[in-house]
C-alpha cells in the first residue's frame, strides 16, 4: 500500500530530478520555446517540497492536492497549470484514504491526465507532455518501472512530431526534429514515481 510518505518521496524525488535536469529542460525549450521550462519547474517543485514540509499533509490525496496548488500558483508558464491540474485532480481522485493501492493510483492518475487533456486541449501525438503521460498511465497496470520506460519512450517519440499545442506549435513544421521539453519533464515525474517505489 502507498501512504502519504510515499507521495512525499515522489515529490521530493521529482524536485531533485528537476534540479539535476533543469539545464537540459531549458535547452530543449530553447529551439521550440522560450527557454524557461527548467527554471519554471525548478521554481514550482521547490515550492512543492517547501509546502509539503511546512503543512505536513497526512493523506496521499492531500499531498498531491497541495503540490498541485503550489505548481499552479508559482509557475507562470503553461506547464504550471497543466502539471498543477494533473496532481490536484489525481489527489482529488484519491480522496481521504490514508493508504491507496497501485490500482487506485493508476485510476486516479488516469483522471488527472484526462483533466490535463481537457484543460490544454492536447491529444496524444500533439507533441506535448501528454505523449509521455498517456503511455505511462497505460503501462502503470504493470509496474512503476514499466510506466517509467513507457514515459521515456513517449518523450523520445515526440522528436519527429510537429507540435499542435503550446508555444512550439507557432513554429509549424520547424518544430519537427526537436524533443518536447514537457514530455521530457513528464518522463522525469514518472521516473521519480518509480524511484519512490524503490524500482
| Positions in the binding site for Mg ion (CB under 5 A) | 29, 33-34, 36-37, 77
Least distance in Å: CB of 170 to Mg ion? 12
Residue carrying the nine cell digits 490536484: 88
Of 61 and 77, CB closest to Mg ion: 77
Residues 6+ positions from 198 with CB-CB distance below 8 Å: none
Strand (E) or helix (H) holding 100: strand 99-100
165 contacts which partner out of ligand ADP, Mg ion, none, CB within 5 to 8 A by kind? ligand ADP
Q: Of the candidates 120, 148, 146, which has an alpha carbon nearest to the alpha carbon of residue 132?
A: 148
Q: Which residue has the cell 521515456?
A: 152
81 binds, among Mg ion, ligand ADP, none (CB under 5 to 8 A by kind): none
Query: Of 112 and 166, which has the nearer Cβ to ligand ADP?
Result: 166
Q: Which is nearer to ligand ADP, 107 or 126 (CB)?
A: 126
Shortest gap between Cβ of 165 and ligand ADP (angstroms)? Answer: 4
CB of 28 to Mg ion, least distance (A): 10
Dist. CA 70–CA 5, nearest whole Å: 18
Question: HSE (CB half, 13 Å, CA atoms) of 92?
Answer: 12
Task: Return the half-sphere exposure (C-beta side, CA atoms, 13 A cut-off) of residue 44.
Answer: 31
106 vs 121: CA distance, rounded Å:
22
* Smallest distance, Mg ion to C-beta of residue 78, A: 7
84 binds, among Mg ion, ligand ADP, none (CB under 5 to 8 A by kind): none
Q: 136 is in the binding site of which of Mg ion, ligand ADP, none (Cβ under 5 to 8 A by kind)?
A: none
User: Residue 53 — φ and ψ, nearest 5°?
Assistant: -65, -40
Residue number, 61 or 182, with CB nearest to ligand ADP: 182
Sign of CA dihedral 121, 126, 127, 132: positive
Instruction: Kindly tell me which of 78 and 193 has the beta carbon lying closer to ligand ADP.
Output: 78
Q: How far apart are CA 26 and CA 181, in angstroms?
A: 8
In whole angstroms, the minimum distance from the beta carbon of 106 to ligand ADP comes to 20
Residues near ligand ADP, by CB under 6 A: 29, 33-34, 36-37, 40, 77-79, 82, 120-122, 128-130, 165-167, 180-183
Amino acid at each position: 500500500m502507498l501512504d502519504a510518505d510515499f507521495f512525499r518521496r515522489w515529490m521530493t524525488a521529482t524536485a531533485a530530478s528537476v534540479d539535476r535536469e533543469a539545464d537540459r529542460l531549458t535547452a530543449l525549450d530553447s529551439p521550440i520555446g522560450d527557454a524557461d521550462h527548467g527554471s519554471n519547474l525548478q521554481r514550482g517543485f521547490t515550492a512543492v517540497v517547501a509546502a509539503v514540509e511546512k503543512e505536513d499533509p497526512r493523506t496521499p490525496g492531500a499531498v498531491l492536492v497541495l503540490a498541485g496548488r503550489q505548481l499552479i500558483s508559482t509557475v507562470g508558464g503553461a506547464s504550471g497549470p497543466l502539471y498543477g491540474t494533473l496532481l490536484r485532480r489525481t489527489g482529488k481522485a484519491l480522496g481521504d484514504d490514508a493508504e491507496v493501492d497501485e490500482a487506485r493510483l493508476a485510476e486516479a492518475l488516469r483522471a488527472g491526465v484526462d483533466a490535463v487533456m481537457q484543460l490544454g486541449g492536447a491529444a496524444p501525438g500533439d507533441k506535448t507532455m501528454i505523449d509521455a503521460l498517456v503511455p505511462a498511465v497505460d503501462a502503470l497496470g504493470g509496474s512503476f518501472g514499466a510506466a517509467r520506460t513507457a514515459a521515456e519512450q513517449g518523450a523520445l517519440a515526440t522528436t519527429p512530431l510537429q507540435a499542435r499545442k503550446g508555444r512550439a506549435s507557432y513554429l509549424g513544421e520547424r518544430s519537427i526534429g526537436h524533443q518536447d521539453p514537457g514530455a521530457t519533464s513528464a518522463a522525469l515525474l514518472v521516473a521519480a514515481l518509480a524511484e519512490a517505489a524503490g524500482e
